[in-house]
Chains A and B, each alone.
Chain A
Amino acid sequence: MIPEGLKYSKNHEWLKTDGNLATIGISHYAQDQLGDVVYVELPAVGKELKAGEEFGVVESVKSVSSLYSPVSGKVVEINPSLGDSPQLVNEDPYAKGWLLKLEMINPSEAQSLLSAADYKKITETK
């Protein structure tokens, strides 16, 4: 459940790039650890985030976890479905459960993130 072709952060976010545009979500591993997601708090469109900056929270029945931006950029879109259907993060973490899209300031930041193989090692040592 760790798709190839995406980049991953140690905080369990994934990132998909398309030119300067990055789509960000949380990994299957992260959603499984959280359990049923019931609330996702995301920043406003237009907000500028630095790499490593907290941008929101994902709350499950049992706990709350902070979300951190893997790269720097400006929020251009947030997933409009999560307000009514936060469970999409559990059901489809790599597609319908995406969190937000960033216009990256420095797309090379994405290259320093983890590959699928390296991220897999992190989830296995936990």
Chain B
Amino acid sequence: MVPFAGWEMPVSYKSIISEHNAVRARAGIFDVGHMGLIKIVGDGAATLIQKTATNDLSKLSLNHCQYSVLCNESGGTIDDLLIYKLPMYYLIVCNASNTEKVLPYLKKQAKEIEHADVSLYENYCMLSVQGPRSEDIVSQALNVPLAGLRRNQLLWWRDIIISKTGYTGEDGYELMVAKKEVAKIWEALIAAGAQPCGLGARDTLRLEAGFPLYGHEYDEETSPIEVGYGWAVKFDKGDFIGKAALLKQKKEGPKKKLVGLEIDGRLIARSDDSVFDKELKLIGKVTSGTFSPTLKKPIALAYVAAKEAILGNQLNIEIRGKKVAAKVVAKSFYKR
């Protein structure tokens, strides 16, 4: 068990690589009860979200969810989120470590809007079932038909919200379950064949898929445009916090860009390792690095000067005092 944002979380139940491989080949289950769930209700709810988040909420259909980003005035990221549109209210899923920042921030922004009430969605928590067998496992364990559910769509089943979403690069489902029911449902999903997976595999899976993680790829000084998620910033939707700074960044081009790096040899780059160009000039730093269990080699995400962010570009990473050759590749190291 390790402390994680105020929660005690297992790094692994079995071993990181075996859990990772179980998700790629079959299915794994993740206790993501630490994720922040925030409810926004009232006639002003949509106005509040449009004002604070970068994506265009008017494009979000009922019973679907949308990826979006909360930016500060300078375009840096407060948090990245999923926004669920439910019949009576919106539900926001934010990062565990950011809940204590996002909740008061949204409450403060809500004061300027009539009828927008922000509160913790306290009685529910999240489980995630991911992998090619996840549809069979969830439908069998909960006796729910899932065949028609599309990516980013959700359904209510008894007291459970099931959305076809995830953070592993596989098809999968995230379940919002009443806290008093969650242990029973966790057991049922394991009995149906899901391998329990810890924080370690969650990180290697998201990294292989090239997904950013707050605190590594995202922070208050880094914009979604630099992450490469400009598609989640909609300038034609009206005004929102951070718009001017983001628009300037889009027009001028960001100074740094997030890239994938494939590394020669077996040394693993870790966050904060320095990245150099061919002439050994410092041009950036690693944000996340691991050994890819699927590709069986080290991979990393790094911010580099925008002009160096070209696929195939040969760079160097300094790992424990040694310069190691690395090549710029697509961030999605793994694609299903």
Which A residues fall within an 8 A CB radius of B?
35-36, 38-39, 41, 57, 59-62, 64, 86, 90
Contacts and interface: CB of A to CB of B under 8 A. Distances in A.
Given A35-B15, A62-B16, A62-B200, A57 B320 contact: yes
B196 to A, nearest CB: 15
A64 B11 CA distance: 15
A64 B320 CA distance: 10
B35 interface: no
A61 B290 contact: yes
B300 to A, nearest CB: 13
Chain B contact surface mostly: loop
B43 to A, nearest CB: 47
Interface residues of B, number: 16
Interface of B: 11-12, 15-18, 200, 204, 266-268, 270, 290-291, 293, 320
B15 A39 contact: no
Contact of A59 (B15, B204, B268, B293): B268
B240 to A, nearest CB: 38
Nearest to A63: B270
A39 B320 contact: no
Most B Cβ at <10 Å: residue of A35, A64, A86, A90:
A35
A39 B16 contact: no
B4 to A, nearest CB: 13
Given A57-B320, A61-B291, A64-B320, A36 B17 contact: yes
Given A38-B291, A59-B267, A62-B16, 11 more contacts: A35-B12, A35-B16, A35-B200, A36-B16, A36-B17, A38-B268, A41-B267, A59-B291, A61-B291, A62-B11, A62-B200
